Amino acid sequence: MLKITIDDADLQRNLRQLADKDARMAAVWALNDTAADVLEHVHANMDRVFDRPTRFTKGAFRIKRARPQDLEAEVVERDRQGRRHYLKVQELGGQRPQTGLEALLSSRVAYAGIIQSVTPAPGARLDAYGNWSIGERNQALSAIQAQRDPTTNTTVASRRRNRRRAGFFVPREGSGLSPGIWKRAPDGTISKVLHFSALAPVYSQRLGFQDGAAEVYQDRLPGHLARTLARMVQRVADRG
């Protein structure tokens, strides 16, 4: 998403005392160190903009390192994230695509309405990042017969064996309960763990990756280049 380059002609004019391969190696060090600064800046932005960003969020970008034959470093999104990663929407704004969980519930749950998006409800058990805990999510999906692997769904027999475990259900059409997944405790009390919505979330631009990253690149590259050139000059002198 951001390319960090050094003009090769300027490099040659200013570095006559170094062989081409040495000058290029110093440039590679400077470019890669600058890219690391940019990535650190992006992570700091995530900590500021988002509430407890997960490892998945902070791992969305990587450094494509410069090489002597290619004096260009890039901070890019990881290939595995693809178009599904929600940071694309946080960067540019717009409608967020369905998550895997939302698509699963939309296709598997016996529910008369539309499930476009879901959010944890007050009764949900949350993890350290404020997301619905995986353990409770899997219990709920099994209880409402929505697991991808049907063999992991709760059966009548397994429900009887675990009477002390909380149960989960989706209210029937016409129920006075709001759409979503509800939990029934062993004592009979109920609480809502997940909201269903027919609307897709729409985000405004939040992360500001390009502008902030470009400023870090412009600020840090000259200092890194001065340092790495001095390091290479000393290395050449030591060799001599």
Long-range Cβ contacts of 212-218 (<8 Å, 24+ apart) = 212/41, 212/42, 212/45, 213/1, 213/2, 213/38, 213/41, 213/42, 213/75, 214/2, 216/34, 216/37, 216/38, 216/41, 217/2, 217/4, 217/34, 217/37, 217/38
Alpha helical stretches, state H, 50-196:
55-58, 87-92, 100-108, 134-143, 156-161
* Closest C-alpha to 179, from 165, 195, 190, 167: 195
pLDDT in tens, 128-185: 878 899 999 999 999 999 888 888 877 766 666 666 677 899 998 888 899 999 999 9
Question: Which uninterrupted H or E stretch holds 81?
Answer: none
Compute the distance between CA of residue 75 and CA of residue 1 in angstroms, rounded to an integer.
6
* Closest C-alpha to 171, from 146, 190, 186: 190
State both tokens at 160.
Answer: 């009887």
Query: What pLDDT was estimated at residue 203?
Result: 65
- Burial degree of 136 (CB within 10 A; 0-12, 13-18, 19+): buried
Strands annotated E in 23-107:
61-64, 72-77, 94-95
Compute the distance between CA of residue 111 and CA of residue 125 in angstroms, rounded to an integer.
23
Total residues found in the chain within this entry: 240
Query: What pLDDT was estimated at residue 11?
Result: 55
State both tokens at 207.
Answer: 């992360």
Query: What pLDDT was estimated at residue 1?
Result: 46
pLDDT in tens, 47-71: 877 777 777 777 778 899 999 888 8
Q: Which one of 6-10, 44-48, 58-62, 101-105 scores highest in mean pLDDT?
A: 101-105
What is the reported pTM? Answer: 0.55
Could you tell me whether strands 190-197 and 117-120 are parallel, antiparallel, or unpaired per DSSP bridges?
Answer: antiparallel
